[in-house]
């Protein structure tokens, strides 16, 4: 493996004057770095791409430095028949480090420039000297040019969470600098006062796709009398959990005006909302009004029979 796939992670600050770091703080950060590279490989090359990360040699003195080696490979069950496999793997590993910003301008530099600002727009621009696609990101009158892979990593919640955890030691008193680079050269630094720019989004990645109301008929699977009033309802093919927000209906339930028996159905106006999340669609149901309570039939219905007098 070419030495150019080696890189150094550094933490610095008064608390590290003796070149020591609490392993309970270090271990999660090292694991997060491995997760960061693996998540980046997935974004750039697909689910079958993996990055193996290993610590190279011993820890260095001066601040607290850790040397890593990143190696790229594809998961495959048969022998790769293409020539140049090792060269391609090395190039891909370097591309991941470049997109992140371990070398060159990447996601970390972009987050520092954004400072928690939301881009107004992005546009494709001429590729760089290396032929990689590049984008120009606009915030007001300012713009920042970066390779497209860096923007792809910035938008991925898995990458953002792993980067957040890698920078977590900056939250500890006495650790005020994080740096990445190759060998003794430092390419990008994050200082304590910049830490807030790297906090991973929580639910911000959720996007509301559908918000509408419809009429539905449900049978009652189970009732709830807690504050959230979430009932289990069935439409005959699937069971859902729904919040009941019809106050008049709930008052009837709580005062025993409404009573239920097996086979009863509710004709409801239901608000259905669906979000797109990092883990796929999420759906919520809210019964905003119970239009009718259909009691189960207790007698066999027959047509009327008229008798001659």
Q: Which residues in the chain are classed under CATH 2.40.50.140?
A: 207-294
Strand locations in 30-184 (E): 49-55, 64-74, 121-125, 134-139, 142-147, 177-182
Q: How high is the pLDDT of residue 195?
A: 93
Tens digits of residue pLDDT in 215-238: 999 998 888 766 566 898 999 889
Q: Give the C-alpha distances (Å, rounded to integers) separating 221 from 13, 271, 295.
A: 59, 19, 15
Residue 170, pLDDT > 80, answer yes
The fold adopted by the segment(s) 207-294 is: OB fold (Dihydrolipoamide Acetyltransferase, E2P) (2.40.50)
pTM flag (> 0.75) = no
Torsional sign, CA 69, 72, 76, 77: negative
Task: Please say if the pLDDT value at position 24 is more than 50.
Answer: yes
Q: What are phi and psi of 96, to 5 degrees?
A: -65, -45
Bridge partner list, 283 = 274
Element (H, E) at 154: helix 148-154
Regarding predicted confidence, which is higher, 227 or 81?
227
Predicted confidence (pLDDT) per residue in 109-149, tens digit: 999 999 999 898 999 999 888 788 999 999 999 999 999 99
What integer best gives the mean pLDDT of the chain? 78
């Amino acid at each position: 493996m070419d030495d150019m796939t080696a890189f150094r992670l550094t933490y610095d600050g008064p608390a590290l004057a003796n070149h020591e770091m609490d392993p309970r703080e270090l271990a999660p950060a090292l694991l997060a770095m491995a997760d960061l590279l693996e998540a980046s490989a997935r974004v750039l090359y697909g689910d079958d791409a993996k990055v193996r990360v290993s610590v190279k040699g011993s820890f260095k003195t001066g601040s607290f430095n850790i040397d890593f080696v990143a190696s790229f490979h594809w998961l495959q069950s048969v022998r790769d028949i293409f020539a140049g496999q090792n060269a391609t793997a090395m190039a891909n590993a370097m591309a991941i480090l470049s997109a992140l910003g371990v070398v060159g301008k990447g996601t970390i530099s972009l987050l520092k420039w954004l400072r928690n600002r939301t881009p107004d727009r992005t546009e494709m621009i001429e590729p760089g000297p290396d032929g990689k696609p590049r984008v120009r990101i606009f915030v007001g009158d300012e713009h920042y040019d970066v390779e497209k892979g860096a923007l792809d990593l910035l938008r991925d919640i898995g990458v953002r969470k792993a980067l957040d955890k890698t920078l977590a030691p900056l939250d500890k008193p006495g650790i005020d600098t994080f740096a990445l680079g190759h060998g003794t050269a430092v390419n990008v630094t994050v200082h304590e006062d910049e830490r807030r720019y790297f906090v991973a989004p929580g639910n911000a990645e959720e996007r509301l796709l559908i918000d509408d109301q419809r009429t539905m008929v449900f049978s009652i699977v189970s009732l709830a009398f807690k504050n959230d009033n979430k009932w289990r309802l069935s439409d005959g093919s699937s069971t859902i959990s729904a919040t009941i927000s019809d106050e008049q209906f709930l008052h009837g339930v709580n005062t025993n005006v409404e009573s239920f028996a097996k086979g009863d159905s509710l004709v409801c106006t239901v608000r259905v909302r669906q979000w797109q999340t990092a883990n796929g669609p999420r759906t919520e149901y809210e019964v905003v009004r119970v239009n009718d309570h259909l009691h189960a039939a207790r007698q066999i219905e027959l047509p009327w029979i008229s008798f001659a007098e």
